[in-house]
């Protein structure tokens, strides 16, 4: 995925001035302040990092202010303490995701979720950089998507679709520990739609991917 470089500048400014007296008269001589700037430049890539709270939760190394801007949570340090491991997650339907290692979770995760009505929840994933061609989804947790009494059919379902028409199959049931790839199109503005369809309002569902 695309990486950008972060630059942190730490500036130390020293201003020197002098005042002295002469005889019975106090004479203030104004001298131009002398300014010395000491820059400490730190550069680090936005690499994947492991959170401090869990060895199976990953984030992206950002500055603290960038993590806040991206609505993430700082969970540990990275880049020798100059960055934070920023964990980003969403459970809001119709969200657009444009940051690597973002988690999509059920409302109230890690508790399970039982919808009060049937319907669909769609998330849109944008490319992080123009040269991206695939999206990998890792199902750290996915269970409770109800299957149908008809073999091969789903009551609840998850589907991923890009612009190429070469999409993975729709899935349901338990898929914890599995992963899937979905193709973007060749255009930089192409997206992938992730659709959760709820057909059951009695089965508790848990997902984090």
Sort residue 152 into left (φ over 0), alpha (ψ -120 to 50) or beta. Answer: left
Query: 17-48 pLDDT, tens per residue?
Result: 333 344 444 444 444 555 555 556 778 999 99
What is the reported pLDDT for 86?
98
Consecutive H or E run containing 167: none
Query: 113-158 pLDDT, tens per residue?
Result: 999 999 999 999 999 999 999 999 999 999 999 999 888 899 999 9
pTM (2 decimals)?
A: 0.77
What is the reported pLDDT for 114?
97
Strand-pairing partners, residue 7, are 43
Dmax (CA) for the chain in angstroms is 106
Distance between CA atoms of residues 109 and 100, nearest Å: 20
Distance between CA atoms of residues 40 and 58, nearest Å: 29
Residue 94 tokens, joined: 């119709």
């Amino acid at each position: 995925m695309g990486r950008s470089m972060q630059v942190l500048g730490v500036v130390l400014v020293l201003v020197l001035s002098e005042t002295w007296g002469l005889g019975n008269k106090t004479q203030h001589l104004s001298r131009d302040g002398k300014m010395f700037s000491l820059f400490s430049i730190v550069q680090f890539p936005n690499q994947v990092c492991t959170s401090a709270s869990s060895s199976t939760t990953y984030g992206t190394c950002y500055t603290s202010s960038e993590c806040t801007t991206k609505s993430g949570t700082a969970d540990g340090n990275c880049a020798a303490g100059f960055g934070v491991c920023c964990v980003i997650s969403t459970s809001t339907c119709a969200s657009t995701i444009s940051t690597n290692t973002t988690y999509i979770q059920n409302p109230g995760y890690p508790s399970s979720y039982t919808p009060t009505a049937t319907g669909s929840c769609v998330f849109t994933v944008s490319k992080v950089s123009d040269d991206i061609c695939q999206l990998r989804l890792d199902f750290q947790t996915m269970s409770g998507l109800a299957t149908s009494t008809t073999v091969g059919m789903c009551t609840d379902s998850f589907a991923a679709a890009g612009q190429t028409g070469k999409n993975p199959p729709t899935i349901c049931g338990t898929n914890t520990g599995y992963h899937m790839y979905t193709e973007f199109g060749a255009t930089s503005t192409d997206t992938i739609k992730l659709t959760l369809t709820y057909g059951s309002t009695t089965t508790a569902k848990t997902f984090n991917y």
